[in-house]
Amino acid sequence: MKVYEGIEAFKPIANAVVTSGTFDGVHIGHQKILDTLKEIAVKTGGETVLITYWPHPRLVLDPANNTIKLLTTFDEKARVLADFGLDHLIKIPFTKAFAQTSSADFIKNILVDGIGTRTLVIGYDHKFGHNREGSFESLKANAKNYGFKVREIPRQDVKNVGVSSSKIRKSLSNGDIHISNQFLGWEYCLNGTVVGGDQLGRKIGFPTANIKINSELKLIPASGSYAVRVIHQGNHYQGMLNIGTRPTVNGSKQTIEVHIFDFNKQIYGDEIRVKMVRLIRKENKFESLDSLKEQLVLDRELARKMLS
């Protein structure tokens, strides 16, 4: 997959099959769009193109609202999209000026002149252009004038629940990782750098790697202990992750630390990726470190079963 910084870096192609959107999380609804893109591209001998925006539009249009957290950073999103076999990813800087672009100008300047769109695929509720004036209905009504075909994808449901990035964020905030993963179609990931800690885990037989998350915009799931898969330098391991303030030792600042099973390497400063599989338990305050250690032994046994 080729990544382009802005529409100016992209040269129009002969048979572009295109979609656009923020695609935060690249969840199963987004994946339905990607599957459709690929199916059309195969049938028509075309190439798939996705237009996305960075930063997230809500961060630009409502900067005072600092509550929004993202399921994927741009790099994480690009990695997932590459795994799905996308040909081209165009990253358009989202600014207040760009937000003023009319739907007509977006179609002419970006879809037609900038990309050479032959088929446009959009989600069931997709809006675009200034004040979200553009829609599937307006595109369909003027399809002949635009010189490309338009396809709309219906809402993707899981167990009769409409899938959306906001619902996934809510599930993660509740610690419902297994539900979030169903909606995503992949295991939610935290990417970061291993930093030094107070080595308390090592003292009780459960050494941990403390993780500094690469982006402040990344959504951190609810406090608790989780069964996880860990990727370090291309190698895969099992482990359990703790998110919380460590109330047993009167901690006050949130930490994210992973105990990697059957692992004893020194990895300070290394990049690490953690795939979250299932919640083991919510964070508790124990009477003593011995009580905490006893619980961690049980947690490890349960995590191994969850990951087997």
**C-alpha 19: how far from chain center:** 18
**Pair (47, 106) in one structural domain:** yes
Residues 287 and 208 reside in one and the same domain = yes
- For residue 75, is it within any domain? yes
- Give the per-residue pLDDT at 296: 95
The predicted model gives 280-296 an average pLDDT of 92
| Cβ neighbours of residue 248 closer than 8 Å, sequence gap 6 or more | 284, 285, 286, 288, 289, 291, 292
Per the CB < 8 A criterion, the answer to whether 103 and 129 are in contact is yes
Whole-number average pLDDT of the chain? 92
Q: Which of 9-23, 104-118, 196-210, 219-233 has the lowest mean pLDDT?
A: 196-210
How big is the chain, counted in residues?
Answer: 308
What is the distance between the alpha carbons of residues 55 and 38, in angstroms, rounded to a whole number?
A: 26
More confident residue, 147 or 158: 147
Indicate whether 243 and 103 sit together in one domain. Answer: no
Instruction: Provide the pLDDT confidence category of residue 177 given band limits of 50, 70 and 90.
Output: very high
Does residue 273 fall inside a structural domain? Answer: yes
Residue 253: inside a domain:
yes
What pLDDT band is residue 157 in, cutting at 50, 70 and 90? low
Helix (H) or strand (E) holding 209: strand 209-213
Tokens read off for 301 = 């046994």
Domain that holds residue 240: 187-307
C-beta separation of 81 from 109 below 8 A:
no
- Alpha carbon distance 51, 49 (integer Å): 7
- CATH assignment at residue 232: 2.40.30.30
- The answer to whether the pTM exceeds 0.85 is yes
Mean pLDDT calculated for residue range 25-54: 95
Report the side by side order of strands in the sheet with 47-54. 2-5, 88-93, 47-54, 16-20, 117-123, 149-153
In a domain, 279, yes or no: yes
250: left (phi over 0), alpha (psi -120 to 50) or beta: left
242 and 114 in a common domain: no
How far from the centroid of its chain's Cα atoms is residue 211's Cα?
18
Residue 194 lies in a domain: yes
CATH number for the domain that contains residue 128: 3.40.50.620
20 sits in the region (left: phi over 0; alpha: psi -120 to 50; else beta) called beta
Does one domain contain both 134 and 241?
no
**85 and 213 share one domain:** no
How far, in Å, CA of 69 to CA of 219, rounded? 5
pLDDT digits (tens, 9 = 90+) for 252-268: 789 999 999 999 999 99
Q: Is residue 49 located within the same domain as residue 155? A: yes
